[in-house]
Amino acid sequence: MAKLYFSFAAMNAGKSTLLLQAAYNYRERGMRPLLYTSALYATDGVGLISSRIGISEPAELYRAEDDLYLAIRDHTEAGKVDCVFVDEAQFLTPEQVWQLARVSDRLRIPVMCFGLRTDFRGKLFPGSAELLAIADVLREIRTICECGAKATMVVRQSPDGRVLVEGEQVSIEKSVYVSLCRKHWEEAVGRWPVLGP
């Protein structure tokens, strides 16, 4: 039975590298993977999944209004799809997470999603929350804090290095994020996290 997977981590844990490696393994065995990334990462309308270690691969783009079940079903009409990979899965809408679940349940295609669990404020992304709720398999990809402990949180920094505690949930400038353990995240934000929406 095909499953819906969610591999999550803080920034710079190698999520995209693992995705690209897994897609390569499918191709090496003569199989057809289908890759998606958020339209927030489009360059001139083109999708590209890139890793910090210098590897990249073209990908289909998804937007909040897209029906991923229908899009993937259309791809299967052009030929067998052996696995679907979704990078930046935190930007999926809850509805899209269910659409991907239907891909695994009804089209019997494994779906592997990779993304962040929480934002710089320590809050779940909507797509990540839905994946945590309904994915068949949850995998934590680990990275480390400056202290050597497991990093589970991220802070957003201004260009001058100041830690930001307010602002829009989504900012795709990766260079402004630093992965920290919970203890150092709490110290960096300088206050207890605000509970609630």
The alpha helices in 39-137, defined as continuous H runs, are: 68-78, 94-106, 126-134
Spatial distance between the Cα atoms of 28 and 47, rounded to a whole number of angstroms: 22
Nearest to 93 by CA among 64, 117, 70, 133: 64
Spatial distance between the Cα atoms of 94 and 78, rounded to a whole number of angstroms: 27
Catalytic one of 65, 88, 95, 146? 88
Cβ(41)–Cβ(172) under 8 Å? yes
Return the amino acid letter for 90. Q
Q: Which two tokens stand for residue 160?
A: 């001058």
- Cβ neighbours for 189, distance < 8 A, ≥ 6 positions apart: 122, 155, 163, 165
Active site residue 88: yes
Task: Calculate the dihedral angle through the C-alpha atoms of 73, 78, 79, 80, rounding to the nearest 10 degrees.
Answer: 0
User: Any idea which residues carry the catalytic annotation?
Assistant: 88
